[in-house]
Amino acid sequence: MKKLRILLTGANGQLGQALLHLPGFSGSVDWISTDYEELDITQRSEVFDFVDLHSPDFIINCAAYTAVDQAEKEYDKALKINADGPENLALAANNAGIPLIHISTDYVFSGQSFKPYTETNQPDPQGAYGKTKLAGEEVLIKTGGKIIIVRTSWLYSEYGKNFFLTMLRLGKDKESIGVVADQIGSPTYAGDLAAGIMKIVEYNSSHDGWIQQPEIYHFCNMGVTSWYDLSMAIMEIAGLPCHVKPLTTEQYPLPAPRPAYSILDTNKFRNIFWQDIPYWRTSVICCNEKYELLKQRI
């Protein structure tokens, strides 16, 4: 059986690494792994040439500008990576007649709701990062091609830089830390998101090119928590004695606004692809186990 050739952008990031290390696909997927050094997605001619040269069957775009606070100062740079880049990939994918899966964020919403956001709720980003990610969604939808946008939230993993690894570092270095307790969301383990993305790929392959027009799906781990409760769980699971104190958003001001409530409704995704998405705490335990194994190999 012919291997599926997948062009992966942002391969050095935590989601890219999770996809590349996802078990069970080594015999069925030929990854064309790229990061900025191999492919600058903001350069349209470079993207078209790369797709023409490598002839992928699928594109998964994990490349993004994710420095939420820095985006307030570097809006144009963030917009170029989060909107122009995805547009170039979508146009190249359309030209080649192949699907594109693009990763977006809960930050496209205001965070002022009191019930989970569905795919049909009106976006209203409050900060520069969310605005550039929404701009990326809008240009992708306008292309009208074989596009799947997957919004996720509070992404973490054993790779790269993220909240989970920051808490482990602080938990080892500090006797006590303060963490915001009045921002509510659903942590998402990159390994689970990677598995969810590949379920979309498999579904499209088994349903004879099911992806034909732009669609949006929400994916995050099940359950709801705060950053404070997540940090408490990480300390407990990792066996760290660090004391965690709850803070309000006002007590921990940052340049960019954060959604106070960013729960994503995953019913649409679960009804089609994966009914049993893991509970968030179960996935934190899994991530910690993977992190300990990774440390032993280094």
Residue 213 identity: Q
Angle at 284 between CA 180 and CA 107, to 5 degrees: 50
Q: What is the dihedral of CA 107, 155, 199, 222, to 10 degrees?
A: -90
Cα 129 to Cα 282: distance, rounded to the nearest angstrom: 29
Q: Are 9 and 42 in contact (CB under 8 A)?
A: no
Catalytic residue among 129, 159, 189, 217: 129
Report helix, strand or coil for 258.
coil
Is 129 tagged catalytic?
yes
Cα 298 to Cα 295: distance, rounded to the nearest angstrom: 5
Q: How many CB atoms lie within 10 A of CB 54?
A: 14
Cα 149 to Cα 140: distance, rounded to the nearest angstrom: 8
Cα 274 to Cα 297: distance, rounded to the nearest angstrom: 31
CA distances from 232 to 93, 97, 126, 180 (A): 43, 47, 28, 11
Catalytic amino acids? Answer: 129
